[in-house]
Amino acid sequence: SKLTRDMLYNIKGNKFPNLQVFLGTNGLMFTEKVWNKMHKIHHNLFRCDISVDAGTKETYEQKTRLGGNWELLFKNLDFLNSMSANHRNFIVAYRYVVQTVNYKEMPMFAKLILDRYSNVHQIFFTLVNDWGTWNKEEYESRCMWKTTHPEYEQFLDVLKDPIFDNPKIFLGNISKYRNEARRHI
């Protein structure tokens, strides 16, 4: 938001040496220009979590981030990755909210990030929450982790992928489903 950006541009980080700034963003507006405007807190930046929620341009632009721009996103991510390499206390992590429209791309996303960014700190997968965005029926259709969902077994098959053994991948509330999937390998 403009309010948050203005605050980040104006904090004098040298006056607050113990301040650690943790940013959460979708990455689309986190450009080199924005980074440069935050120059007063570069040494206070601790972590930036970027929520992507797709492993392909099509899913990103047409299902999870309507109006998003895949190429712009990765231009910004490439830049932030280089900044985390230059600022040893600044880490970049990636978030992926899992639902019916994108669960099949989880391994693809993990591979994309791990191959592209050698200094990635973490890739965090989590199940979509019901924040009242959809009506109950629509929300339930997105919950492929429920045993009553018609895609439940396909979800478990995706979780069998060995990429999820990578120590940089954190499955959070998906871990129990990964364990269930591994019992059927």
* 105 vs 102: CA distance, rounded Å: 6
Q: Are 51 and 24 in contact (CB under 8 A)?
A: yes
Q: Which parts of 99-149 are beta strand (E)?
A: 122-127
Look at residue 93 in the predicted model and tell me its pLDDT: 96
State how far the alpha carbon of 63 is from the alpha carbons of 10, 128, 168, in Å: 36, 14, 26
Q: Are 31 and 73 in contact (CB under 8 A)?
A: no
* 179 vs 20: CA distance, rounded Å: 35
Look at residue 178 in the predicted model and tell me its pLDDT: 97
Look at residue 89 in the predicted model and tell me its pLDDT: 86
Cβ neighbours, 10 Å, residue 83:
17
Order across the sheet with 122-127: list the strands: 21-25, 45-51, 91-98, 122-127, 169-170
Residues 6+ apart with CB under 8 A from 99: 127, 128, 142, 143, 144
pTM above 0.95, yes or no: no
Look at residue 85 in the predicted model and tell me its pLDDT: 85
Residue 138's identity, in one-letter code, is E
Walk along the chain (185 residues) and give the pLDDT tens digit of each residue. 889 889 999 999 999 999 999 999 999 999 999 999 999 999 999 999 999 999 999 999 999 999 899 999 999 999 999 999 888 789 999 999 999 999 999 999 999 999 999 889 999 999 998 888 888 998 999 999 999 999 999 999 999 999 999 999 999 999 999 999 998 76
